Amino acid sequence: MLMEIKKFSVPELLLRLNKTYQSFAEQQNMRYLTRYNSPEVVWLQGDRAAIEQILSQVIERAFEVCDKENIELVVEYIDPELIVAIYYPGIEIESVKFKAEILLNDSAYPPEDLVQKWQMRDIEMSDLVELVLVSIAEKKTWMDAAVANHDVVELKELVHAAKGVTGNYHMEEFYDLFSKLDEYLVKNPKIDETVQHMVASLSEIINKIPLKYFKNNEV
């Protein structure tokens, strides 16, 4: 059977595997982690479905022999190969190699939504990005209350904390806005129209995010 040759993004594939196996691991009271030591976008030539199946089998074999602690998928690009190894706990159990080429061009693989874009910036933290998002939406409601109460002290603390966490998780759209607001509040420590407008504009970012990311988390 001829293998269909197509290019696809490795980070997107790893994200999909993360979603599947993180929840599977939780059910087993274990953790599934990914360590991605590669450029932001690595493309593989090959049958994506077949490669996903190979990696799934490697991961599932690890779950069969390991019953506690962490299973870690470590992905590294060493030109011209992508090397994927499974570790438990800290010991390499199995590895596979694929021929791969670097394609450092984000526009070549547009993410589905903002959240996926942030997750692909750091695959290792993809599950936490969703939790951070929910916490930011929660902070937004507290910021609205601080604005309504003209509580600039509370607002400054919330903005500073949000700036820190969104910077850590590469959530640029939020980070840029919180940075500007943080800087503005340092120079103008009062709730004025500019502050009100900037806090309100957070909703524009939140509204771009599909509801599914908030569905399982009360906001």
Partner 1 sequence: MVLIVDDEVFALDLIKRKLAGSGFEFITCNTVALAKELIKENTNIKIVVTDLHMAGEDGFNLLMWLASEYPKIKKVVMSAHTHEDILTPNNEIIHVDAQLKKPVDIKNELIPMLINLLKEV
**Nearest distance, CB of residue 137 and partner 1, angstroms:** 14
- The contact mask relative to partner 1 for 90-129 (x = CB under 8 A, - = no) is x---------------------------------xx--x-
Q: Cα–Cα distance between 196 and 2 in angstroms, integer?
A: 60
Distances (CA, A) of 112 to 118, 119, 140: 11, 11, 24
Map tokens 């908030």 to a residue.
Answer: 214
- The contact mask relative to partner 1 for 179-208 (x = CB under 8 A, - = no) is ---x--------------------------
State which of residues 62, 73, 115, 132 lies at the interface with partner 1 (CB under 8 A).
132
CA atoms within 13 A on the CB side of 62: 30
Nearer to partner 1, 44 or 129 (CB): 129
135 near partner 1, rule: CB under 8 A: yes
Q: Cα–Cα distance between 58 and 81 in angstroms, integer?
A: 18
**Nearest distance, CB of residue 52 and partner 1, angstroms:** 24
CB 34 within 8 A of CB 72: yes
Residues 68-87 interacting with partner 1 (rule: CB under 8 A): 72
Nearer to partner 1, 101 or 157 (CB): 157
Q: Cα–Cα distance between 176 and 171 in angstroms, integer?
A: 9
> What dihedral angle (degrees, nearest 10) is formed by the CA atoms of 124, 116, 80, 102?
-130
* 166-169, long-range: CB < 8 A, 24+ apart: 166/132, 166/136, 169/118, 169/122, 169/125, 169/128, 169/129, 169/132
Residues 154-183 interacting with partner 1 (rule: CB under 8 A): 157, 160-161, 163-165, 167-169, 175, 182
Torsion sign across C-alpha atoms 149, 155, 157, 158? positive
**Nearest distance, CB of residue 131 and partner 1, angstroms:** 7
State which of residues 33, 96, 102, 209 lies at the interface with partner 1 (CB under 8 A).
33
- Binding residues for partner 1, total number by CB under 8 A: 21
State which of residues 35, 48, 117, 180 lies at the interface with partner 1 (CB under 8 A).
35
Residue partners of 4: CB distance under 8 A and separation at least 6: 47
State which of residues 50, 65, 131, 148 lies at the interface with partner 1 (CB under 8 A).
131
Residue ranges binding partner 1 (CB under 8 A): 33, 35, 72, 90, 124-125, 128, 131-132, 135, 157, 160-161, 163-165, 167-169, 175, 182
